Amino acid sequence: MFNTALTLSRSKVLGGFAAMLLAATSFASTALAVTPEELKAKGSATIGVQMDQFPWGFIDQNGQNDGYDIEVAKLIAKELGIQLKFERITGQNRIPLLVNGNVDFLVPSMTITEERAKVIQYVIPYASNDITVWGKTDADIKANEDLSKYVIGVNRGSAFEPLLVKVAPKDTQIKRFDDDATTVQALLSGQVDAIVGSVTYGLVIKQTGNDASFGRKYKVADNFQGMAVRKGDQEMLDFLNDFVARHTADGTLDALYKKWIGVDRAKLPTTLPGVDFTGKQ
C-alpha cells in the first residue's frame, strides 16, 4: 500500500513539474516571439545555419558562409530588406538556440519529425535529402539486415541516429560522431565500415577524391527538410510558408537546389502526418 501511494504521489509530482515546464516553455516562446516587421525595424536577423555541412551550409575558401541554405537565407533577408547575422548551429544545439531566443529562426536543412514538431514550429518543406547508407565499395551492404556485419557510423543528435537504431539489427555495432563532417571523415579514415546520413554525403566523398573507394549502398528513407521558428511566432511562420510556396512556384528554389545538390528538387509535400505547418492546431 505504501509503495503504491508513494508511486502515485511521485507520479503526481512529476506530472505537475511537466505541466509547469510546458507552461514555462510556452510563455518563453511567446515572450521571444519575432515578426517580419520587428526584424525590418531592427534591420537585421540572427539566423541559425550549419557551417560544416557541405553543400547545405559551410565556410568557403575565402572564409565566407556559402551553400544552399545560405543562399536561401540571403533571399529571405533581401525580401525583408535586412542584414543577416549567422549563428553556427549543430545537430545538438540548434533547437535549444531557437527556443532560448539566441536565433530568430532556423534555416538548417533539418529533417522534419513529429517529435521535433512538438517543440518547434516547422515551415513547409523547402528541400529533401534522402537518408542513405554510404560504405566501402567492397562492403556487401544491400539492405538493413546487412548492417550487423559491419561497424556503422552516424551523427549523434541527427534524425539519422534514431532511424538507424530502429532499422538496424539489434547486434549492430554503432559509433556516434558529433557532426556530419566527422561522420564522413570516420568513414574515409577507416574508423567505420559504413555510415548512415544524407544523400549529399556523396558530394563530400567525391570532393575529397574518395568516390572510387566509397559509394552509395541503398536508400533507407525519405527525408523532408524544413526551416523552423518558435512556437507562437505566427507572423514569421506565415511569411516563411508564403516564401517557400512562392519560390517553389517560380522555380527559384528548384534552381538553387540543382546548383548545390546536383539533382532536380523533388516535388515536396505541404502536409505530413503528425506535423502542423499552419501553427493553428
pLDDT at 31: 46
Residue 50: closest CA among 28, 35, 34, 65: 65
Could you tell me which residues come within 8 angstroms of residue 9 by beta carbon, excluding any fewer than 6 positions away? none
Where residue 201 sits, what CATH number does that domain have? 3.40.190.10
Mark whether 37 and 116 lie in a shared domain: yes
Residue range 12-52, pLDDT digits in tens:
434 443 444 444 444 444 446 699 999 999 999 999 999 98
Mark whether 42 and 178 lie in a shared domain: no
Q: Which residue has the cell 499552419?
A: 278
Mark whether 57 and 116 lie in a shared domain: yes
pLDDT at 32: 63
What gap in Å lies between CA 32 and CA 277, rounded to an integer?
A: 20
How far lies 186's CA from each of 139, 154, 189, in Å?
A: 15, 9, 5
Mark whether 55 and 138 lie in a shared domain: no
What gap in Å lies between CA 275 and CA 114, rounded to an integer?
A: 6
Q: What is the dihedral angle through the alpha carbons of 183, 185, 190, 193, rounded to the nearest 10 degrees? A: 40
* pTM confidence score: 0.75
Residue at 269 is within a domain: no
Mark whether 147 and 65 lie in a shared domain: no
Mark whether 123 and 240 lie in a shared domain: yes
Residue range 264-276, pLDDT digits in tens:
998 999 999 999 9
- Is it the case that residue 2 has pLDDT exceeding 60? no
Task: Give the total number of structural domains in the chain.
Answer: 2
Q: How far apart are the first and last CA of the chain?
A: 42
Residue range 182-214, pLDDT digits in tens:
999 999 999 999 999 998 899 899 989 999 999
The neighbouring-strand residues paired with 214 are 136
Mark whether 96 and 210 lie in a shared domain: no
Print the domain residue range for 99.
33-128+224-261
Mark whether 124 and 45 lie in a shared domain: yes
Average of per-residue pLDDT values in the chain: 89
Question: β-pairing, 105-111 with 224-229?
Answer: antiparallel
Helices (H), 127-193: 160-167, 180-188
pLDDT at 61: 93
